[in-house]
Amino acid sequence: SQQGEEDPQALSIQEGENATMNCSYKTSINNLQWYRQNSGRGLVHLILIRSNEREKHSGRLRVTLDTSKKSSSLLITASRAADTASYFCVDAGNNRKLIWGLGTSLAVNP
Amino acid sequence: EPEVTQTPSHQVTQMGQEVILHCVPISNHLYFYWYRQILGQKVEFLVSFYNNEISEKSEIFDDQFSVERPDGSNFTLKIRSTKLEDSAMYFCASKLAGEYSPLHFGNGTRLTVT
């Protein structure tokens, strides 16, 4: 497992706007997972994209993967105040440890 | 939906004391993990456990730390002699086998060492 680097470190938007977060990684992946962490709480799995997939949707979430650029993006559409959290990407190819970055801290203002 | 439960939610202890943090993973999961997060810092891996033994551990997980799965449902983390720098949120996680199975986290135990 390798650490993903999330960008930007912080993002502040208005409710209803879309939020885009990016993730870069260094070596090839098996699958990339996105997680959310509300302040002081455990991480919650959002979505997984396999290395042979380019795009995946889940509700208001859209994840893309570009293996040639070693990057992924997470788009949250029509954001809500409840989306305020930190978001992390991780390379999760096997059952071994996950290595976490600093995440993107998203603030959605009502 | 089944979830990972951790108790207590907050534990205060004095330096040098032993603490045991409790976790009940999701019942059909096979892999178990402890992570910790010092306030304002990254989530750090401590240890993974599979088939009743430690499968991987980090440098943080020294002789002061131990894990047990005593009865097939609980998964505990013991810190023998706590230090001030052990103050952190401790997260338990579990997963099914398979490379596409996500981690399921508990809500953590906040450990404060005074």
Question: Amino acid letter at B61?
Answer: F
Q: Which of residues 7-66 of B touch A (CB under 8 A)?
A: 31, 33, 35, 42-45, 48, 50, 55-56, 58
What was the pLDDT predicted at A95?
72
How many domains would you assign to chain A? 1
The vertex-B79 CA angle with B27 and A98, nearest 5°, equals 55
- Alpha-carbon span B47 to B99, nearest angstrom: 18
CB nearest B48 (choices: A42, A92, A97):
A97
User: Residue A94: pLDDT band by 50, 70, 90 thresholds?
Assistant: confident
What was the pLDDT predicted at A96?
79
Range of the structural domain that residue A61 is part of: 5-109
CB pairs under 8 A between A and B: 61
User: Residue A71: pLDDT band by 50, 70, 90 thresholds?
Assistant: very high
Checking if the pLDDT of A29 tops 90, the result is no
The vertex-B65 CA angle with B75 and A88, nearest 5°, equals 70
Give per-residue pLDDT as tens, B14-33. Answer: 999 999 999 999 999 999 99
Domains of chain B: residue spans and CATH: 5-97+109-113 (2.60.40.10)
What was the pLDDT predicted at B70?
86
CATH number (domain holding residue A75): 2.60.40.10
Low-confidence ranges of chain B (pLDDT < 70): none
Q: CB distance A95–B31 less than 8 Å?
A: yes
Residues of A in contact with B105 (CB under 8 A): 42-44
